Amino acid sequence: MGVAADAAAAGPSDRRVVSFLAFILKGLARQRTRTLLTILGIGIGITTVVALGSVASGLKAASGEIAHLGGADFMVAQPGAADLSFSTLTDRDLQTIRGVDGVERAWGTLFQISRVGSNPFFVTYGVELAEMPHVVPRLTAGRLPHAPDEVALGATAAADLDLAPGDPLTIERHRFTVVGLYTSSAAWERSGAYAALPTIQAAARKPGVITMTYVEVAAGTPVDVVAERIHEAGEIFAVIETADDYAAVDQGMKLLDAANLAISLLAVVIGAVGVMNTMIMSVFERTREIGILRAVGWRRSRVLRMIVGESLALCLLATGAGILLGVGATRLVVLIPAIGSFLTPVYPASLFVRALVIAVAVALAGALYPALRAIRFSPMEALRHE
């Protein structure tokens, strides 16, 4: 009743005693344990949204980088594959793509994922030896592979495996010799290796198979025109130019987007229930106080703003905590070598906007019924409440 007494004494001039914001915060501070538990519950939902959103954004960014490895304008793969590594093209498909008007250069790549050391997601890019000078990123040590049993190793992989030029490396039970180290802006590329295509095909038991074809368009020719020509050249061709196109060859990306949306909606529902419970209890406990406020001149609209304001403050505090926990959680997860080898979390502005929108939606949904209940009573009814 302390806040109510202050308001009653000051009457309509209560803003001279305490600001409306401070009044709202005092209301939340009365039941600190309940308020903190509500913030925790909403914050966990926001944490999940931020963490999953940053992972999805990181994977999309990585997929966009994969589509342009070796300076390619775009990538061609098999549509509808459950995962990019399951995309299957043949040497004949490669020749078909090379014959399309406007294609300056095209090369096949076998994208093979296997366990190497403690990394279960080690990626080996099998390409023709003749294409190595055009495809392998900047060398930091040694030279490019010149023989079937030689391999160029990414900087991250070399550090994790503690290997240098001249050391042996076993991939898919095949023994290679590391002859060079390279670096790249793409995490997948830094954590993998380049080797001769026929050798990787034999090691993976995929003779004559490639995962994707990279295409470099002739100067002066529109990229979209060549992409359309390739698409028309065969129904089994999916042209991947941006991260948004990647879902055509990786159903997992669609599932991740669906999971992200589902968790966001679930966070809104669960958060709204939590806020509603907190605000209903607050209104019930403060019925007499609300009656006093109405008696000293507060209009229903101001009581409504007070309840909604408390709900918004509650959710905004939870959002701040959730964002910090979400960013911190993803930072810790990528410290695990097996995850950090292929994932770099990305935090676009849209992710934080989404978290804020969820917080506002939770606040409004959770405050609706308690606010209506608070303004329903007349001052006399509220004052008689025990």
Q: Could you tell me if residue 249 is inside a domain?
A: no
Model pLDDT, residue 385: 53
Model pLDDT, residue 195: 95
74 shares its domain with 199? yes
CA distance 295 to 290: 9
207 shares its domain with 222? yes
Number of structural domains (the chain) is 2
Q: Could you tell me if residue 160 is inside a domain?
A: yes
87 shares its domain with 226? yes
Q: Could you tell me if residue 248 is inside a domain?
A: no
* pLDDT digits 0-9 by tens, 35-77: 888 888 888 888 888 888 888 888 777 777 777 888 888 888 8
291 shares its domain with 308? yes
Largest Cα–Cα distance of the chain, in whole Å?
Answer: 92
57 shares its domain with 73? no
With contact defined as beta carbons under 8 Å apart, do 119 and 338 qualify? yes
**Residues belonging to the chain:** 386
With contact defined as beta carbons under 8 Å apart, do 201 and 209 qualify? yes
285 shares its domain with 269? yes
- Within 8 A by CB and 6+ apart from 382, the residues are 287, 288, 290, 291, 292, 294
Model pLDDT, residue 244: 67
- Going by C-alpha positions, the residue among 155, 160, 159, 126 that lies closest to residue 141 is 155
CA distance 110 to 138: 20
80 shares its domain with 188? yes
Single out the residue in 211, 241, 271 at which a domain terminates.
241
Model pLDDT, residue 15: 47
52 shares its domain with 73? no
Which DSSP state fits 218? P
Model pLDDT, residue 193: 94
- The whole domain housing 353 covers 2-62+254-383
7 shares its domain with 110? no
CA distance 130 to 201: 16
31 shares its domain with 90? no
With contact defined as beta carbons under 8 Å apart, do 101 and 229 qualify? yes
Q: Which residues of the chain have pLDDT under 70?
A: 1-20, 23, 27, 82, 234-236, 242-254, 256, 338, 341-342, 377-386
What's the pTM value of the predicted model, to 2 decimals?
0.69
23 shares its domain with 76? no
Q: Could you tell me if residue 246 is inside a domain?
A: no
161 shares its domain with 221? yes
Model pLDDT, residue 120: 82
